[in-house]
Amino acid sequence: MGLEGRRLRRPPNMIRSGSREAPHRRTAFVARPAVILLSVGAVANYAVTVWHAYLAQKVNPAIPVAQTLEIAAIAGTLTTAGLALLWTRHLKIGSLVLIAVFVIGLVIGGAEHFVVAGPNNVFDVGASDWAAPFKISVWVLLAIEVVGLAAAGRLLAARA
């Protein structure tokens, strides 16, 4: 008894594309909420980073404006690259780029604002009009970066 008379069933994850079969791209639909969450987190991270850089300039006028602009440009470029990769269905590479953005922010921000004593430390910032918004921006960035890292890590670990 051969296979001539039997009809073979296709696995549910396969679709017919023209004359040949191709795997069904479920990641576009399953991962969409995660991609949206990560995208919102990345844009929020960049917006708060720019606001934070402005506040850091006000709290510590000794920071050169060029350094502030350089940080904003690097953060913007990496964030845009990560988002572009995410939305062009390069989920893993986009997630890795955004993980790099969040980790860099956490490491540099954590050291600068919590560990190293100085004018940018949230515990030593002083009592100017800009101190409270500066402290708030530090904590908001910390929260966004932790949530963004979790979302990017989850998307990276998801099955493609």
Over the stretch 92-127, which tens digit does the pLDDT of each residue have? 899 999 999 999 999 999 998 899 888 888 888 778
- Residue 84 within a domain: yes
Q: Answer yes or no: is 145 within a domain.
A: yes
116 falls within a domain: yes
Determine, yes or no, domain membership for 100: yes
Task: Map residue 16 onto helix, strand or coil.
Answer: strand
Residue 3 lies in a domain: no
Query: Rg for the chain (alpha carbons), in Å?
Result: 23
For 21, 47, 48, the CA distances from 82, given in Å and listed in that order, are 31, 15, 17
Q: Is residue 14 part of a domain?
A: no
- Name the residue range of residue 109's domain: 30-157
Q: Which of 160, 158, 155 is nearest to 26 (CA)?
A: 160
Domain presence at residue 82: yes
Does residue 55 lie in a domain region?
A: yes
Closest listed residue to residue 113, CA positions, set 100, 103, 104, 123: 123
The Cα–Cα gap between 150 and 104 comes to 14
Note the pLDDT tens digit of each residue in 85-94.
Answer: 988 888 889 9
Domain count, the chain: 1
**Would you state the pLDDT for residue 160?**
54
